[in-house]
Amino acid sequence: MQINVSKNYEELCKEVANFIVDEIKELSSPLLCLAGGDTPLGVYKNFVESRADFKNAMFIGLDEWVGLDGADSGSCRFTLDQSLYLPLAIEESKIQFFDGKATDLSRQCNETNQLLETNGPIDLVLLGIGMNGHVGFNEPGSSLDSICRVVSLDETTQTVGQKYFETQQELKQGITLGLKQVLDTRTVILIVSGEKKRSIVKKLLEDEKIDPSIPVSSLWQHPNCHLFVDEVAYSE
């Protein structure tokens, strides 16, 4: 894992945005997977301001809250629509995203697994890290062999997840790509910022080994993983 420490959130986002543009510039049709959540928003802002060229890219969703879709403010799809897809006019046909309201969620998973079987692996994934060390909705205890599935969300995720919504939500389950699909990705980028993430960054970095109770630690086995962290989150 290559570690890159930035002075502050603004620098961090600029560096990650530049890194991504550089990584994919030689690819004719990159398959990208970009996390929702708060941390990457500054990266997407950089993409929008610089009118980053994603015209040949395909996008695959990382995760979604079960029961929500792009019409729900605070959902993963809503976040990506508002911060990236709509401002950059990315065509719907280039986006494969989970519908957390679908009646047949296992079909959603099968379709995504099939798409990755046929068109994968993903070229680049941008991941945030949950307070409990989750990546996507791969919660503590997730298997390294896991593929796309519906999961029960950890207490921490249910509680912390309320920050995305104006009114209290029931956030019992999520639909997510699995750790195997993350680990199969050619380039993995982790972005972490702020005081609240100090303790998970410390846990990730102190042992440099895979601990199933900290899903993000599975990335120690990835040959091309880049952790971008700001000084505040790195300081312990």
DSSP 8-state secondary structure symbol assigned to residue 35 = -
Q: Which is nearer to ligand F6R, 55 or 229 (CB)?
A: 229
Regarding 38 and contact with ligand F6R (CB under 6 A), the answer is: yes
What distance in Å separates the CA atoms of residue 8 and residue 128, rounded to the nearest whole number? 16
Regarding 39 and contact with ligand F6R (CB under 6 A), the answer is: yes
Regarding 122 and contact with ligand F6R (CB under 6 A), the answer is: no
By DSSP bridging, strand 2-6 and strand 95-96 are unpaired
Regarding 35 and contact with ligand F6R (CB under 6 A), the answer is: yes
Judge whether 134 counts as a catalytic residue: yes
Q: Which of 46, 113, 132, 138 is catalytic?
A: 132
120: exposed, middle or buried (C-beta count within 10 Å: 0-12, 13-18, 19+)? Answer: middle
Cα within 13 Å of Cα(60), Cβ side: 30
Integer Rg of the chain from CA = 16
Regarding 123 and contact with ligand F6R (CB under 6 A), the answer is: no
Regarding 154 and contact with ligand F6R (CB under 6 A), the answer is: no
Report the phi/psi class of residue 156: left, alpha or beta, with left for phi > 0 and alpha for psi in -120 to 50: alpha
Residues 6+ apart with CB under 8 A from 25: none
In the list 15, 63, 139, 230, the residue contacting ligand F6R (rule: CB under 6 A) is 63
Judge whether 139 counts as a catalytic residue: yes
Q: Which of 46, 99, 134, 154 is catalytic?
A: 134
Q: Which of 15, 23, 46, 63 is catalytic?
A: 63
In the list 77, 134, 180, 226, the residue contacting ligand F6R (rule: CB under 6 A) is 134
Q: Which of 139, 154, 226, 230 is catalytic?
A: 139
What distance in Å separates the CA atoms of residue 174 and residue 193, rounded to the nearest whole number? 23
Judge whether 49 counts as a catalytic residue: no
Judge whether 104 counts as a catalytic residue: no
Catalytic residues: 63, 132, 134, 139
Residues at the site binding ligand F6R, with contacts judged by CB under 6 A: 35-39, 62-63, 76, 128-130, 134-136
